[in-house]
Amino acid sequence: MGRTAHKGEERVKRIRQWAEELGFASVGFSRAERLEDEEPHLAKWLSEGKHGEMGYMERNFDKRLDPRLLLPGTRTVISLMLNHYSDERPVDPDAPRISTYAYGEDYHYVMKWKLKELLKWMRRDWGDIAGRVYVDSAPILERSWAKRSGLGWVGKHGLILTKTGGSHFFLGEILVDLDLPPDAPVTDHCGTCTRCIDACPTGAIIRPQVLDGSRCISYFTIELRDGLPEPMAGKFENWMFGCDICQEVCPWNRHAKPHNEPGFSPAPELLQMTRRDWVDLREETFNSLFKKSPVKRTGYAGLKRNIAFLEKGKAASDGAP
């Protein structure tokens, strides 16, 4: 037993070293099991329609709660964080805004490559390990696993928070059939602060750690395929893709440090775009700016819809007919 435990500890140490070499901010380990505590909360959230038109959230309910149903034989969930914080901003303060996570290349590809490399190194040294990597691409409650593995706590805005870097991180997982010693969760450090709840212009954070996804600006500008709801006109605070408001007001994000991942850096021409440039955006420019970007998800027509909605809100607030 002692020898087995020692081997597990040595492997965890090695994985941490490899993760650092690949540029991950941190890595944690959890024992693979069913998330019994999360089950009633997820069921209630779905039954209340907080997922809006994101129908995929209703599918694979049991798999979301038990990673062993995704990869039979899974013993450990390895959770990893990759920093994406950028302090660069558009030159025109009136230009419609894009969430900073989408400034550069699509994180799905950048992070998945790193996760696959890590799993490849594990197999190189330890043999034919059963494993699978995920980046926001499977029914996994990634924040729950990140919390369990001690990467951070769940803030009142529903994002994983750390004392040293705030919340500007992507999360990814590697499921493996290795029996690795688990980490312990960290304590919550939000205290009585409610800045994220108070700052949300659409009232999407209905109570601490519970987000009404159907009211979130990110949902409206990315996920919603139909027309944007008229009651929300003027409430997007100039966000045309995603939203960073709850993160910008969070005191812990004062500690955020710029990422060092070249793929996440914005193209200079993206930050040079003015409000007028965005209003007059042509499809060729869209394709050039966002050929490897998550913004492709909303499409040219979707982004133009969002920009027009922002302009309509501005006109209404200025008293224009």
* Tens-digit pLDDT string for the chain (321 aa): 566 678 999 999 999 999 999 999 999 999 999 999 999 999 998 998 888 887 778 888 999 999 999 999 999 999 999 999 999 999 999 999 999 999 999 999 999 999 999 999 999 999 999 999 999 878 999 999 999 999 999 999 999 999 999 999 999 999 999 999 999 999 999 999 999 999 999 999 999 999 999 999 999 999 998 899 999 999 999 999 999 999 999 999 999 999 999 999 998 999 999 999 999 999 999 999 999 999 999 999 999 999 999 999 887 767 654
User: Which residue(s) pair with 205 in the sheet?
Assistant: 211
Residue of 66, 92, 136, 188 with catalytic role = 136
pLDDT of residue 54: 79
In this structure, what are the phi and psi dihedrals at residue 98, rounded to the nearest 5 degrees?
-115, 135
Q: Mention every residue, 6+ apart, whose C-beta is less than 8 A from residue 148.
A: 28, 30, 77, 79, 182, 185
- Tell me the two tokens of residue 189: 């450090």
pTM of the model: 0.94
- Tell me the two tokens of residue 180: 């690795």
Residue pair 286/300 in contact (Cβ under 8 Å)? The answer is yes
- CA separation, residue 149 to residues 29, 78, 233, 293 (Å): 5, 8, 40, 30
Domain boundaries, given as residue ranges, for the chain: 1-313
* Residue reference for tokens 């440090």: 257
pLDDT of residue 2: 62
DSSP 179: -
Q: By three-state DSSP, how is residue 187 classified?
A: coil
Residue pair 209/156 in contact (Cβ under 8 Å)? The answer is yes
Catalytic annotation present for 136: yes
